[in-house]
Structure 1
Amino acid sequence: MKEWWIQVGLLMVPLIAVYLHIPPPKLSPALYSWRTSGAFFIYRGQRIFYRDSWGAIGSSDVVILLHGFPTSSYDWYKIWDGLTQRFHRVVALDFLGFGFSDKPRLHRYSIFEQARIVEALLGHLGLQKQKVSLLSHDYGDTVAQELLHRFEYNRTGHIKINSLCLSNGGIFPETTHPRFLQKLLKDGGVLSPILTRLMNYYIFSKGIGAVFGPYTQPSDAELWEMWTGIRTNDGNLVVDSILQYINQRYKHRDRWVGALVSTSVPLHFIYGPLDPVNPHPDFLMLYRKLLPRSTVSVLDDHISHYPQLEDPMGFLNAYLNFINSF
């Protein structure tokens, strides 16, 4: 009996080894088109992917799109064409550690660095002196808050912000409820490298599906595209490092919430109210209390954490109504 278990164990070793080194899925035609329509620039030795589309003739307006965790700039694909009909230029990037950008290991990922990367991208595109609108979601909301702080206090390299629209992000850590796996990974210690290697499509799809509404679930193709973006460049192995942004939100709350409270920049929030990460009504009550000058668009009751994917037309209309209001 003992020899049988030893043989099974020896047989499992190469199978586990193969499992832990499964290559990333191939790009879908849509994801391949997204990548080939973009480009890369170098930030401190790291390749950062971005897309820069020229749109409306006769407009000088520029919008910068900041995506959420754990996905990528591809989150904006459903509203991309709609934005190009209103804006002269539509720009989005994959943050360091996300999507098609480089994903260095043993790297101290931070919101501050991601903000500097956005500034560097605008410099690369010759937009550093141009007033831009920021449209952000989730993780991108926090990057936007840091960019706003740098703009308000005239920090070196800051971008000029014409307006800011946030959506379904944990801008108040006290009303934010990270998912169980997020909490486990950010505090996992020695377990984190094991957990990130054990992460697979099934675990990912269950986790991401839980933050979509019951009637707006992503299709299998959409889930695979999200998972492909994570697996590209072994991004699953740096998820625990990126998740330190949750701790950074607590540490720098006064700085980032303070930037929203004190700003004179036109401010808007698009909210999917079924969001389990920023649940209604606690989040919205605090938002309206602390930011009474901000306008808010609350989407249909069944829209959850990814409003730009779950209700792209509602999201786009809400955003354009805000932009056209000033």
Structure 2
Amino acid sequence: MGPSASTTLAILAVALAIYIMYPPPDFSPRVQKWKESGSYFTFNGYNIFYHDDQGAGPSTDVLLIFHGYPTCSYDFHKVWDSLTERFGRVIAADFLGYGLSDKPVQYDYSIVDQADMVEALLEKLGVNAVHILGHDMGDTVGQELIARYNEGKAKFDIHSVCLMNGGILPETIDKRWGQKILLNPYLALVAMRLMGKISFSKGLGETFGPQTQPSAEEFEDYWALLRYNDGNLVQHGIIQYLPQRFANRQRWVPALYNTKLPLHLVFGPSDPVNPAATFLVKYKELVKNSGVTELSSNVGHYLHLEDPQAVVGAYFNFLDSLKNK
């Protein structure tokens, strides 16, 4: 049973007053450059930010990147140059509700809808075949697209899939305290307005390895991107991907072990969200058709930010292995 209407209104009034006192921070030159070098397209009436960058590789090699929760495609800025050197084209969008995209409050956020957005973007760009690199929530978008591919319903061809730390197997997820609060509709009303840079940074930092923590400037960048377009006010909506993983487990997990697509997992073992002792063991048992690269023990959930060189090396080794088959 939730709090009374009067109690809820009083708490919301206090939270709103605090929220108004702390406007969104300005972007750093780093994030501003990322924003100015990207583009927008319209999906379901909303603006979606994306990068579509030409690379030095063969024009037929197109990489499609999926970011995770609660961040955005900017997460890949440390590996971006290496990826554009390898591929002829690198595409990454901020999912609806994330980063530099629109963040409607009254919207039914779903993994299926985010996958539809990806299909719409590729159709707009005239891309009909990609390699996929995903992380966290983006892994699940990838799983939905793999399911469509397996069913013969995909709108584009997929050459390979590489996933990184994410709730691929929902039963092994160890939800963080902040995620549990945001999943509660009553607590989320207040938490989304009281959320500040300190609490956000603490929660995000806990998913990194103890020796691979972001700098103060990096925390500021992630916070500014989340607050852009009042992104803190949609956290209850976009985090619904967590229960959707359980509801769709019988579609998304078999999609992996039944696929004929080349599949690989790059994993940071110091990840409290997807503990190696439970997740990695079960993944290897279930998804026998997938290769696995386990990084250094100090690398956590955001492995491409914590050890970008190791991630690039592991990913490129996977791609190189495909040429020998």
Give the TM-score, by structure 2 length: 0.93
Q: What residue in structure 2 maps to residue 230 of structure 1?
A: 226
1:307 to 270, 293, 303: 303
Q: What residue in structure 1 maps to residue 175 of structure 2?
A: 178
Q: Is the 8 A contact 1:134 1:144 kept in 2?
A: yes
The residue type equivalent to 2:227 in the other structure is: R
The 5-angstrom pairing of residues 82-97 of structure 1 reads: 82-97=82-97
Counterpart check, 1:24 vs 2:19: no
Distance 1:292 1:300 in 2: 22
The residue type equivalent to 1:132 in the other structure is: V
1:195 to 169, 173, 191: 191
The 5-angstrom pairing of residues 246-261 of structure 1 reads: 246-261=242-257
Q: What residue in structure 1 maps to residue 5 of structure 2?
A: none
Secondary structure of the residue that 2:123 maps to in structure 1? helix
Q: What residue in structure 2 maps to residue 267 of structure 1?
A: 263
Q: What residue in structure 1 maps to residue 39 of structure 2?
A: 39
Report the structure number with the largest CA radius of gyration. Answer: 1
Q: What residue in structure 2 maps to residue 215 of structure 1?
A: 211
Q: Is the 8 A contact 1:147 1:158 kept in 2?
A: no
Secondary structure of the residue that 1:104 maps to in structure 2? coil
Secondary structure of the residue that 1:108 maps to in structure 2? coil
Distance 2:76 2:24 in 1: 22
Distance 1:324 1:226 in 2: 33
Post-superposition offset of 1:307: 0.3
2:314 to 305, 312, 318: 318
Q: What residue in structure 2 maps to residue 80 of structure 1?
A: 80
Q: Which is further off, 74-83 or 288-297?
A: 288-297
Report Cα offsets for 1:235-275 as digits up to 9, x if no partner. 00000111111100000001000100100000000000010
**CA separation of 1:146/1:57 partners in 2, compared to 1, >3 Å: closer, same or farther?**
closer
Q: What residue in structure 1 maps to residue 134 of structure 2?
A: 136
Q: Is the 8 A contact 2:15 2:193 kept in 1?
A: no
Q: What residue in structure 2 maps to residue 10 of structure 1?
A: none
Q: What residue in structure 2 maps to residue 103 of structure 1?
A: 103
Distance 1:314 1:17 in 2: 43
The residue type equivalent to 2:23 in the other structure is: P
Q: What residue in structure 2 maps to residue 164 of structure 1?
A: 161
Secondary structure of the residue that 1:135 maps to in structure 2? strand
Secondary structure of the residue that 1:20 maps to in structure 2? helix
The residue type equivalent to 1:148 in the other structure is: I
Distance 1:287 1:173 in 2: 11
Post-superposition offset of 1:160: 1.2
Q: What residue in structure 1 maps to residue 272 of structure 2?
A: 276
Distance 1:268 1:79 in 2: 18
Distance 2:57 2:64 in 1: 18
Post-superposition offset of 1:158: 2.6
Distance 1:287 1:154 in 2: 25
Secondary structure of the residue that 2:158 maps to in structure 1? strand
Instruction: Kindly tell me the number of residue pairs found equivalent between the two proteins.
Output: 310
Q: Is the 8 A contact 1:162 1:265 kept in 2?
A: yes
Unaligned runs of 5+ in 2: 1-11
Distance 1:135 1:82 in 2: 14
Distance 2:34 2:71 in 1: 14
Secondary structure of the residue that 2:321 maps to in structure 1? coil
Q: What residue in structure 1 maps to residue 9 of structure 2?
A: none
Q: What residue in structure 1 maps to residue 6 of structure 2?
A: none
Counterpart check, 1:292 vs 2:288: yes
Secondary structure of the residue that 1:281 maps to in structure 2? helix
Q: Is the 8 A contact 2:15 2:194 kept in 1?
A: no
The residue type equivalent to 1:45 in the other structure is: G
Post-superposition offset of 1:57: 4.5
CA-based RMSD: 1.4
**CA separation of 1:18/1:126 partners in 2, compared to 1, >3 Å: closer, same or farther?**
same
Post-superposition offset of 1:191: 2.6
Secondary structure of the residue that 1:325 maps to in structure 2? helix
